[in-house]
Amino acid sequence: MEDYSQEDWGNHSQDLHGYPTDQELDEIPVTKRTLKIKQESSEEAQKRDIMQNIVQILESVQLKWELFQSWTDFSRLHLSNKLAIFGIGYNTRWKEDIRYHYAEISSQVPLGKRLREYFNSEKPEGRIIMTRVQKMNWKNVYYKFLEITISEARCLELHMEIDWIPIAHSKPTGGNVVQYLLPGGIPKSPGLYAIGYEECIERPLSPHMEQRSLDPGKEGRVDLETLSAQTSLQVEIEPTRIIYCYLGIAEVRTLQQCLFLHFQANTKTFSKDWVGINGFLSQNCIVDPGVSPKSIYIKFVEVERDFLSAGSLVECLEKAIGYPLKFNN
């Protein structure tokens, strides 16, 4: 719950007159109200997930919190034109541990400007912080930041804001070989792209289920076919997730050319000696009868060629997702 100054509370109470009355609410169809609530809760959940991911990145690089001493003095930060991931933290008189108030990737606005907004009482962000300090909700305010390049900012955008695109595949041809069918609309420009595959995790049977599966019952006999069917039903399939396995940099070639080389050329020139991402994609095209290949996904973002050589893009993405990329060794 946010704190408000006395003036803010007055404005807030006046704003209440603008809210719909019970009679007006009754006139709004229930389905529309439900959809609006669901949309707002979904957006809030997405914002919370993004902030949690940013906090995870800041924690993974083990940055130290810096105490903010003055509300107006940011001259010692030489970050007027720098991009960065930053966090705002606080502690209380009762608990010295510093907790996060906010975290953000400043990829469009320079870090210096964003921090000044958070420590300026005339700005909405700064007013919240100032009020909580004045009311002794908080004791001290802290900040931490990690400078990033434009390409790293775009890489994090690729991870957090760009949706995965599933890659379709043809029916088996020439026996047991399928071909990938790339979607249209892949840009003929430089940029970053990621390749991932769908992972399905099976939960082990609970002890209660195992006991029921192995208990022959009063008749003392086990019907193997029935047991097998029950067991397959009892295995709980967790929601699938997409695992990143490769980050590509389309610098010399375009995004379209790079993805074409990965997905189209390898099915025609397959070699068992291939390793890396091309070997993985090629082997995935060889399927046994009745078995589908792994579901493969891509995502991409355009980046100006001049920026692609800066930064540590693979390490940046690995920190963001929390595990190594299998084929970027």
- Give yes or no for a contact between 146 and 58, defined as CB atoms under 8 angstroms apart: yes
The domain tally of the chain equals 2
Q: Are 176 and 309 within one domain?
A: yes
Structural domain boundaries enclosing 58? 39-148
Domain assignment of residue 10, yes or no: no
Buried b (16+ CB within 10 A) or exposed e, 25-39: eeeeeeeeeeeeeee
* Res. 138: pLDDT tops 60: yes
Q: H or E stretch including 284?
A: helix 276-284
DSSP-derived letter for residue 28 is S
Beta-carbon-side half-sphere exposure of residue 66 (alpha carbons within 13 Å): 14
d(CA 87, CA 74): 16
Task: Check: CB of residue 88 under 8 Å from CB of residue 102.
Answer: yes
Residue 279 lies in a domain: yes
Residues 252 and 111 in one domain: no
Taking 3-state DSSP, the helix, strand and coil percentages for the chain, each rounded to the nearest 5, stand at 40, 20, 40
| Res. 55: pLDDT tops 80 | yes
* Separation between Cα atoms, residue 322 and residue 304, nearest integer Å: 27
* pTM (two decimals): 0.72
pLDDT over 50 (residue 3): no
- For residue 300, what is the enclosing H or E element? strand 296-302
Q: pLDDT of 64-102, one tens digit each?
A: 999 987 655 555 555 567 889 999 999 999 999 999 999
Residue 3 falls inside a structural domain: no
Please check whether residues 288 and 181 belong to one and the same domain: yes
Shared-domain flag, residues 132 and 175: no
Q: Does one domain contain both 126 and 265?
A: no
Same structural domain for residues 69 and 141? yes
What's the CA gap between 307 and 153, in Å, rounded? 11
Q: Are residues 269 and 176 in the same domain?
A: yes
Q: Which two tokens stand for residue 137?
A: 């909700």
Domain match, 176 and 142 both: no
Which tokens go with 282? 């090629």
313 lies in some domain: yes
Statement: residue 4 has pLDDT above 50? no
Whether residue 219 lies inside any domain: the answer is no
Q: Which two tokens stand for residue 285?
A: 């095209």
Q: Would you state the structure tokens that stand for residue 157, as one six-digit string?
A: 């955008």
| pLDDT tens digits, one per residue of 227-262 | 344 444 444 445 578 999 999 999 999 999 999 999
- Please indicate whether residue 240 or residue 313 has the higher confidence score (pLDDT): 313
pLDDT at 37: 60
Residue 228 inside a domain? The answer is no
180 shares a domain with 103: no
Same domain, 71 and 104: yes
Query: Are residues 115 and 258 part of one domain?
Result: no
99 and 192 inside one domain: no
